[in-house]
């Protein structure tokens, strides 16, 4: 990867769709060279072509994949920990351990693997920024959601811990906690069941990925002494994880 020495580099994980893709486009518009990672490389290559960025295969649940991804980055100014998601919606009594493992491996250990590997480069940049996409599920528990809410709480605590551990180092930390955003999130959660996924957004005006990307763009363009610690963003039609105003 050849990048001129004065070009700032942003890394976005899980950038093959949804919030990650929109964030990659926003940060590229701001002048960053954006390195995008995910498992679906065909999609990444198209996006990288659009934004003049770099597409690299990345599976955040795999140590070797994370090592290979992070080793080739010449510098890192911004890291957006976005790769993640949910599987299933089941009461604790019926918890599927494979679903829980997927959610903890992707959201929690995935964020840990990538962040730990890139921290030295973020510090070396002299003005690093880590944005982690958690969720309103990181702020409250909801029925049938313990696999996801517990993973998002853990991911958020990992991120918030760094705010203290990195005090005195030139790295800022921002947690963005969205409510309902219409992406592939629900399709993944319900194993491709489109009818069930569509019901999540029925009768509300959900956020779209670009709404969250706008916020990340705002965060990344603040002066280096300004740390925005946490932003919670929900559709107007959503009061809490489980409370919506629906017109249908």
Positions marked active-site: 148
Comparing CB distances to ligand NAP, the nearer of 123 and 162 is: 162
Question: Token pair for residue 243?
Answer: 């409370």
Q: Which residue is nearest to ligand NAP, using beta carbons?
A: 18
Distance of CA 68 to the CA centre of its chain: 20
β-strands 243-244, 238-240 pairing: antiparallel
Comparing CB distances to ligand NAP, the nearer of 39 and 160 is: 39
* Residue 137, phi then psi, degrees to nearest 5: -70, -10
Angle between helices 18-29 and 209-220 (to 10 degrees): 40
Measured from the CB of residue 91, what is the shortest distance to ligand NAP in angstroms?
20
Q: How far apart are CA 18 and CA 184, in angstroms?
A: 6
Residues 6+ apart with CB under 8 A from 45: 55
Comparing CB distances to ligand NAP, the nearer of 123 and 132 is: 132
Cα dihedral 169, 172, 177, 183 in deg (nearest 10): -120
Measured from the CB of residue 178, what is the shortest distance to ligand NAP in angstroms?
4
Measured from the CB of residue 42, what is the shortest distance to ligand NAP in angstroms?
9
Question: Site residues (CB under 6 A) for ligand NAP?
Answer: 13-20, 38-40, 58-61, 82-85, 106, 133, 135, 178, 180-181, 183-185, 188, 209
The answer to whether the beta carbons of residues 149 and 240 sit under 8 Å apart is no
Measured from the CB of residue 126, what is the shortest distance to ligand NAP in angstroms?
28
Comparing CB distances to ligand NAP, the nearer of 39 and 163 is: 39
């Amino acid at each position: 990867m050849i990048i001129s020495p004065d070009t700032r580099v942003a890394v976005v994980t899980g950038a093959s769709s949804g919030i990650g893709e929109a964030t990659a486009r926003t940060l590229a518009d701001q002048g960053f060279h954006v390195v995008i990672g995910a498992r679906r490389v065909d999609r990444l290559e198209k996006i990288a072509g659009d934004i003049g960025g770099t597409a690299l295969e990345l599976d955040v649940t795999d140590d070797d994949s994370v090592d290979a991804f992070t080793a080739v980055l010449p510098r890192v100014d911004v890291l957006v920990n976005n790769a993640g998601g949910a599987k299933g919606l089941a009461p604790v009594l019926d918890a599927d351990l494979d679903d829980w493992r997927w959610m903890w491996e992707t959201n929690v250990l995935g964020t840990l693997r990538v962040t730990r590997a890139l921290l030295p480069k973020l510090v070396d940049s002299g003005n690093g920024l880590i944005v982690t996409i958690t969720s309103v599920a990181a702020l409250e528990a909801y029925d049938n959601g313990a696999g996801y809410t517990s993973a998002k709480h853990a991911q958020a605590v990992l991120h918030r811990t760094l705010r203290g551990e990195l005090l005195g180092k030139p790295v800022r930390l921002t947690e963005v906690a969205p409510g309902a955003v219409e992406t592939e999130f629900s399709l993944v959660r319900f194993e491709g069941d489109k009818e069930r996924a569509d019901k999540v957004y029925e009768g509300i005006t959900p956020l779209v990925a670009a709404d969250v990307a706008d916020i990340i763009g705002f965060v990344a363009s603040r002066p280096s002494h300004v740390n925005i610690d946490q932003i919670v963003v929900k559709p107007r039609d959503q009061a809490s994880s489980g409370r919506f105003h629906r017109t249908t």
